[in-house]
Amino acid sequence: MKHSIHTIVISEQQSTCELVKLYLQEFENFTFLAETSDLTKAYNAIKELDKSLVIVDISMYQEQALNFVSKITSEFSDCRVIVLSDKPQVDLVIRAMRIGASDFLSLPLLKDEFFDVLTKHYLDMTGAKPKKSKCRVITVYSNKGGVGKTSIATNLALELAKITKENVALIDLNFQLGDVTTFLDLKPSFNISYMLQNLDKINEDFLLSTLEKYKDTSLYVLADPPYFKQAENVSSRDITKLFNILRDTFSYVVVDTSAGFDDKAINALENSDLIFLVTIVNLPALRNCQRCLELFDKLGLEDERIQILINRYMENDEINADAVEEVLGKNIYWKIPNNYFTMMSAINKGVPVSAVNPDSNVALSYKNLALLVSDSVFRQSAQKRYGRV
Ligand SMILES: Nc1ncnc2c1ncn2[C@@H]1O[C@H](COP(=O)(O)OP(=O)(O)OP(=O)(O)O)[C@@H](O)[C@H]1O
Ligand SMILES: [Mg+2]
């Protein structure tokens, strides 16, 4: 069956509306529905549609137009937005993507570029072909127990899903005593052991329909096996295979690990684009962290992939951030503040910290960490397209 998607064009410039309309006619799969510069009228039209593509030119009333984009992307999950602007600075591109725009194109519009984006949206919106976005695998690791790996992996994955609205997988590689399901109060019917035993069967459709989805977000959880027995006989080849399948399906894969340097952890580290090495600020933990960096080096993991994450940070710690950087010979990527009360309350309730108190210092820290991670992805693609600004 041929699908046609209703499209609304919003611009103060008649010439832009005309050009978009012309291109859409050529493309066929998108039905041009309306053009307007009246945001209320556009909103009411979008409200009536199941699925829609909205093309918003933000060149003139930028702030007003961006607020509008934010409103429609948060209210209508089946509405896709392409933002157009005659000022395609990297920071503006990032802002637009952050509030939910799916694409950003510079004006004057280039037909080829516009058609590429339309094709991608058509395939994605009609399910004609799975969406292939570039996946980032992020492993949260420490060779020390109890430093906050699971807290970070869980809250970061959830914030990434909320911010990007893209599919995010949270994987519990702690086969012996995984905590992710407890942290999010989930009882999944399929676990990682099942997936590893059925690698030939699993694909995007299977994963998206069987993995436990966290409430109404785009976060999918791949839990640890419930019985120790199931954790045996996992080959690193299978883990790599699983990562490859996950890469095809998700935009972000966040991996929680156990404290050891076992095969699974090494495999996850080798398959990661970004490794968050977590430490707290005390001498034994920092020494461990140093050793870990040496081991990473021996494993041949490039330095750029490894980022230091300080957990339970306190401004008045005896060892300050500069001293930590000096000891480790590396910059600190992010610091998560100490907030035992909020963290414990979240864990005891089986909810993310943002559900306990979204304004707490830890909840904001996780959110901003997710923004930094996702921004770096937007920034890379924006810089590729528009150069450094
Ligand atoms: N930012 C924080 N402030 C205060 N307490 C924290 C913070 N982050 C984590 N904690 C606490 O530290 C404890 C250990 O956290 P978590 O289970 O996330 O660590 P872990 O590294 O995954 O542990 P394990 O090695 O056992 O898997 C928990 O009780 C948690 O509440
Ligand atoms: Mg843990």
pLDDT at 239 over 70: yes
pLDDT at 232: 60
Q: Helix, strand or coil for residue 28?
A: coil
Q: How far is the CA of 18 from the centre of ligand 2 (A)?
A: 56
Between CA 50 and CA 17, with CA 44 as vertex, the angle to 5 degrees is 90
DSSP 87-120: ---HHHHHHHHHTT-SEEEESSPPHHHHHHHHHH
The predicted model scores a pTM of 0.77
Distance CA 156, CA 144 (A): 20
Predicted pLDDT of residue 3: 67
Q: How far is the CA of 1 from the centre of ligand 1 (A)?
A: 51
Q: Which residues line ligand 1 (CB under 6 A)?
A: 145-151, 174, 179, 259, 311-312, 336, 338-340, 343-344, 347, 362
On the question of pLDDT at 129 being above 70, the answer is no
Q: What value does the mean pLDDT of the chain take?
A: 89
Residue owning tokens 């690193």: 236
Rounded Cα–Cα distance for residues 364 and 373 (Å) = 14
- Looking at ligand 1, which atom is closest to the CA of residue 256? 22
Q: Is 68 exposed, middle or buried (0-12, 13-18, 19+ CB in 10 A)?
A: buried
pLDDT tens by residue, 147-190? 999 999 999 999 999 988 889 999 998 877 789 999 999 988 78
Question: Tokens 């994963």 identify what position?
Answer: 207
pLDDT at residue 389 in the model: 43
Separation in Å, CA 372 to CA 108, 159, 367: 30, 11, 9
Residue 268 CA to residue 204 CA, distance in Å, equals 20
d(CA 311, CA 313): 5
Question: What does the pLDDT read at residue 231?
Answer: 58
130 pLDDT tier (thresholds 50, 70, 90)? very low
The residue among 379, 336, 383, 34 whose CA lies nearest residue 155 is 336
Q: Where are the beta strands (DSSP E) in 173-228?
A: 212-213, 219-222
CA–CA gap between residue 114 and residue 121 (Å, rounded):
11
Q: Quick one: which H or E segment has residue 387?
A: none
User: What mean pLDDT is predicted for residues 346-351?
Assistant: 96
Which H or E run contains 314?
none
Domains and CATH numbers, the chain: 5-126 (3.40.50.2300), 136-371 (3.40.50.300)
Tell me: pLDDT of 385 over 90. no
pLDDT for the residue numbered 197: 84
CB 45 within 8 A of CB 16: no
Query: What pLDDT does residue 46 have?
Result: 93
Residue with tokens 């923004």: 371
Pocket test for ligand 1, best of 140, 143, 151 (most atoms within 8 A of CB): 151
Q: Phi and psi for 330 in degrees, rounded to 5?
A: -150, 150
Q: Is the pLDDT of residue 301 over 50?
A: yes
pLDDT, residue 209, reads 85
